[in-house]
Amino acid sequence: MKTSPAPPLHMACIMDGNGRWARRKGLPRTDGHTAGEEALAEVVRQAARRSIGWLTVFGFSTENWVRPRTEVRHILSLHRKLFSRTDEMNSNNARTKWIGRPFSESGARTPVYVQKAIKKAIADTQGNTGLNVTVAFDYGSRAELVRAAKRAMTNGPVTPQAIEANLYDPQMPQVDLLVRTSGETRISNFLLWQITGSHIYFTERTWPDFDANEFAKALASYEEHANA
């Protein structure tokens, strides 16, 4: 009997604890975010190497805008840096994607320079066929679901299928493994629709310390759960 290959895994990360990582080292919070962006680049390499199909990360939420201006500015500049890693994405055969409040919608807050960086990263990596790396920026699951329900309503009955077809990225598969770092055991308005059947892996490690070893542990925890 022929067995079909397992569908590619979707891993999602709530990258928490940059501030605590910095505080423990006596550094400014912004250094924690800088280290967090580097940690993410390593996670992308790990995910590509292990043939993961989808990696979705919570880069900046609809709730994060209330943080101090200098911190917000720093995180935004790190997104520009992240979206400029085109050579790395190409060498990992990885495609950049984005979810968040559509730029032209009322309430959306993505600054134009970040919009440009997102659009360029998507265009420059669209030919890659391996890993899909989705950055959630100006993203909140509740906003996504309210919008999906409103759009579904204009086309007929509101069913799970109709909601799904109106999510920010209808192609995004359900999440298999959700990771949250730094000991917090909350979901925080991230992919609420998409995590219905996810294995959730919480670790005490802060995000900048989420290295290849931690990545392997998270994956092993998922595999143990999936094969149980």
Note if 64 is an active site residue. Answer: yes
Residue 121 · residue 160 · CB < 8 Å: no
Helix (H, G, I), strand (E, B) or coil at 66: helix
The residue number with the shortest CB distance to ligand FPP is: 19
Between 84 and 163, name the residue whose CB sits nearer to ligand FPP. Answer: 84
Between 41 and 158, name the residue whose CB sits nearer to ligand FPP. Answer: 41
Q: Smallest distance from the beta carbon of 34 to ligand FPP, in angstroms?
A: 8
Token representation of residue 216? 């392997």
Between 141 and 182, name the residue whose CB sits nearer to ligand FPP. Answer: 182
Positions touching ligand FPP (CB under 6 A) are 15-20, 33, 36-37, 40, 57, 59, 64, 75, 78-79, 82, 135, 182, 207
Burial of 68 (0-12, 13-18, 19+ CB in 10 A): exposed
Between 19 and 100, name the residue whose CB sits nearer to ligand FPP. Answer: 19
Length of the chain: 228
Note if 16 is an active site residue. Answer: yes
Catalytic-labelled residue, pool 18, 31, 64, 138: 64
* Chain center to CA of 97: 9
DSSP per-residue letters across 114-155: HHHHHHHHHHHHTT--S-EEEEEEEE-HHHHHHHHHHHHHTT
Active site residues: 16, 64
